[in-house]
Amino acid sequence: MRHQWISRIGSRFGGQLLKYGVVTGLAALVTVGALALLLNILERKREAQNPFFRVVELTDETTDPAVWGKNFPIQYDSYKRTVDQVRTRYGGSEALPRTPTQADPRSVVAQSKLEEDPRLKTLWAGYAFALDTREDRGHAYMLEDATFTGRQARPQPGACLNCHSSVYTAYKKLGDGDIMKGFERFNALPFAEARKLVEHPVACIDCHDPETMQLRITRPAFIEGIRQLKAREGIPDYDVNRMATRQEMRTYVCAQCHVEYYFKGESKRLTFPWTHGIKIEEILAYYDEHGVKDWNHAETGAPVLKVQHPEFELWSQGIHARSGVSCADCHMPYQRVGAFKVSDHHVRSPMLNVHRACQTCHPWPEDELKARVHAIQDRTHQLRDRALDALMDLIADIRAAREAGLDERGLQEALDYHRKAQFYIDFIEAENSTGFHAPEEAARILAEAIDFCRRGQTALRKLATSGGPTTAALARDEANDL
Ligand code: HEC
Ligand code: HEC
Ligand code: HEC
Ligand code: HEC
Ligand code: HEC
């Protein structure tokens, strides 16, 4: 109808009017655009002012978040809500009651991953993770969960607390004001000693400059890791606190902890394996180059690695990272409180907050958004199941070959595939978004893992048919030994 009407007018008054119409339309668009921009600027200005009342003076020694909360009650209130435990299909956490004991006073814990999937006990056989591994829960619990996890049955280093506490002032004290020196001394302490130096889970001072409230990086391991990563990308002498954009900082503050790591050498220096990059094969190349293993697998003897929470690394391979969407955009979305727009400090699963976490950018209905996430997660989870089954088969076959009398040297190729497959599967298992942070990359990694298992089994079959390692393989090993 409308279309017909326009074309009728068009033909009656001819091109003249049409041109006039286009010009008026354009002018109107420009006006609307300018107005929108103006409104936007005004809004930004008001947000930038975001006045707060300095009730108390905050210094670079103020660790207690309750004190900061006097100046910033809205952020503090939402920060405190990280005690909430709500389960989503694959994330969040259940609040399981338990009877406190002297050794472990916790009366509520998150559900056990080992009970959810007993294959994980085989995956981690011989390592502390096979004793106790649970779902992650809110930041409020980080200090007690690290202190009382069943993994403490094996001695754990103080370096754990780099990511499980508000450690910034402890570094300063230990290092006489120099956080790098403090960091080194802190890492070398046994857990119980380091534990005495910290009091709170991650707190305001760990992410904010007390004077300007700007975001800042306080963790030396990230300062060093990101410098190496940027150097590889052709940016020398990267100083994250000086050179990162505000949008990057909205991811980097989280990437201080939500990354794969290891403790390097006797000094237990917390280290991010990023000199070759942060894609999975680049991380494994680093570990291979430095001869790093976490333990020898109890069933096969393979020198294997435990992957831990590579959220930053997986996110980096996804469409949201590519589009400049930060961790905080989804996990700390803005909320309107009165006249202000504040960041939700109740860091949690965005599935519990789709309205603010996603709908600001995607005009899709809430159910549709959830369905898209679930579709990705269901597929990732099914693929992970297949990959775990494949690995269980490889582990059983290597064990059988060992029982049949084959030694390390004969098994070398299969053990190497075990190390690789285990690393790839654990990368997705330990990453906490069940594929959402980078769906295609998660699928690629699991597909490659299944292929590694297949190759490992093929290597064993070759041994079985030839009655032992081939002479060529032995000669090669001999040459390598020299
Ligand atoms: C585009 C939105 C988005 C971005 C950006 C994003 N995440 Fe997520 N994240 C999700 C979704 C969705 C889940 C799945 C939650 C679930 O299953 O309940 C998730 C899950 C998680 C979980 C597990 C949460 C739980 O409840 O168990 C962690 C931890 C996490 N993300 C950290 C990060 C970090 C760190 C970054 C930045 C490096 C990041 N995320 C970037 C959307 C995002
Ligand atoms: C680089 C930072 C970092 C270091 C170092 C670190 N953690 Fe964690 N830890 C995390 C993050 C992030 C989570 C939440 C995500 C997850 O559970 O995968 C977590 C979760 C946990 C949990 C709860 C989930 C579970 O596995 O039961 C425990 C317990 C834990 N860590 C213990 C430790 C211990 C013990 C050490 C020292 C060996 C340690 N952590 C070292 C970052 C770290
Ligand atoms: C100091 C280290 C540290 C920093 C910094 C940090 N996290 Fe965490 N995060 C953890 C640990 C440890 C846990 C698990 C605590 C537990 O299970 O006891 C965790 C848990 C989570 C969870 C799971 C919450 C739930 O209810 O299941 C999410 C989501 C998350 N973090 C996202 C983020 C985001 C986003 C940022 C940046 C804004 C961030 N974290 C910064 C260490 C950190
Ligand atoms: C894990 C890191 C982290 C911790 C811990 C943290 N914040 Fe934030 N905070 C952020 C991020 C990310 C932003 C968004 C900053 C930006 O966009 O520039 C933010 C923003 C703010 C702002 C600016 C206004 C706003 O809401 O966007 C204030 C004020 C603030 N936080 C106060 C606090 C207080 C008070 C605490 C302690 C109770 C705290 N923060 C703990 C990460 C953190
Ligand atoms: C700050 C903006 C922003 C936020 C917040 C955000 N997204 Fe996105 N999302 C994007 C952009 C940009 C893309 C890239 C595709 C595009 O340009 O439309 C994208 C793509 C996607 C895609 C399609 C991926 C593909 O391969 O086609 C899905 C699904 C998605 N987002 C879901 C979510 C969910 C769920 C949340 C909340 C947990 C969320 N997004 C939060 C900006 C955002």
Is residue 313 within 8 Å of residue 269, measured between CB atoms?
A: no
**139 ligand 1 Cβ < 6 A:** no
What is the C-alpha to C-alpha distance for residues 389 and 395, in angstroms, rounded to an integer?
10
Burial class (CB in 10 A: 0-12, 13-18, 19+), 209: middle
User: How confident is the model at residue 465, as a pLDDT?
Assistant: 74
Is residue 343 within 8 Å of residue 328, measured between CB atoms?
A: yes
User: How confident is the model at residue 108, as a pLDDT?
Assistant: 98
What is the C-alpha to C-alpha distance for residues 297 and 456, in angstroms, rounded to an integer?
15
**92 ligand 1 Cβ < 6 A:** yes
Instruction: Answer left, alpha or beta for residue 378, where phi above 0 means left and psi between -120 and 50 means alpha.
Output: alpha
**417 ligand 4 Cβ < 6 A:** no
Q: What are the pLDDT tens digits along the chain (482 aa)?
A: 344 433 443 344 444 544 554 445 555 555 555 545 444 444 444 444 455 678 999 999 999 999 999 999 999 999 999 999 999 999 999 999 999 999 999 999 999 999 999 999 999 999 999 999 999 999 999 999 999 999 999 999 999 999 999 999 999 999 999 999 999 999 999 999 999 999 999 999 999 999 999 999 999 999 999 999 999 999 999 999 999 999 999 999 999 999 999 999 999 999 999 999 999 999 999 999 999 999 999 999 999 999 999 999 999 999 999 999 999 999 999 999 888 899 999 999 999 999 999 999 999 999 999 999 999 999 999 999 999 999 999 999 999 999 999 888 889 999 999 999 999 999 999 999 999 999 999 999 999 999 999 999 999 998 877 755 544 444 445 555 44
Residue nearest to atom 18 of ligand 3 (CA): 142
Distance 32 CA to ligand 2 centre (A): 51
Residue nearest to atom 11 of ligand 3 (CA): 142
What is the C-alpha to C-alpha distance for residues 291 and 306, in angstroms, rounded to an integer?
14
User: How confident is the model at residue 339, as a pLDDT?
Assistant: 86
Residue 418: which of 305, 309, 313 has the closest Cα? 305
Q: Which residues line ligand 2 (CB under 6 A)?
A: 133-134, 136, 145-146, 149, 151, 156, 160, 162-164, 257-259, 261, 270, 309, 430, 432
Q: How far is CA 394 from CA 159, 384, 390, in A?
A: 34, 15, 6
Q: How far is CA 272 from CA 191, 249, 413, in A?
A: 20, 18, 27
CATH number assigned to the domain covering 369-481: 1.20.140.10
User: How confident is the model at residue 25, as a pLDDT?
Assistant: 52
Query: Would the CATH topology of 65-360 be identical to that of 369-481?
Result: no
Give the closest ligand to the alpha carbon of residue 372.
5
Query: Which atom of ligand 4 approaches the CA of 327 most closely?
Result: 12
- Residue 465's contacts (CB-CB under 8 Å, 6 or more residues apart) are none
Query: Which atom of ligand 1 approaches the CA of 136 most closely?
Result: 27
The domain segmentation of the chain, as residue ranges, is: 1-49, 65-360, 369-481
User: How confident is the model at residue 193, as a pLDDT?
Assistant: 98
Distance 451 CA to ligand 2 centre (A): 29
To 5 degrees, how large is the angle CA 419–CA 424–CA 461? 50
Q: Which residues line ligand 3 (CB under 6 A)?
A: 92-93, 136-139, 141-142, 145, 163-164, 202, 253-254, 256-258, 327-328, 331-332, 347-349
To 5 degrees, how large is the angle CA 129–CA 111–CA 314? 65
CATH assignment of 65-360, given 1.10.1130.10, 2.40.340.10, 1.10.3720.10, 3.40.50.970?
1.10.1130.10
User: How confident is the model at residue 24, as a pLDDT?
Assistant: 52
Which stretch of DSSP H or E encloses residue 271?
Answer: strand 269-271
Query: Which atom of ligand 3 approaches the CA of 92 most closely?
Result: 27
Type of residue numbered 178: D
HEC profile of 361-387: CCCCCHHHHHHHHHHHHHHHHHHHHHH
Burial class (CB in 10 A: 0-12, 13-18, 19+), 63: buried
Which stretch of DSSP H or E encloses residue 456?
Answer: helix 439-466
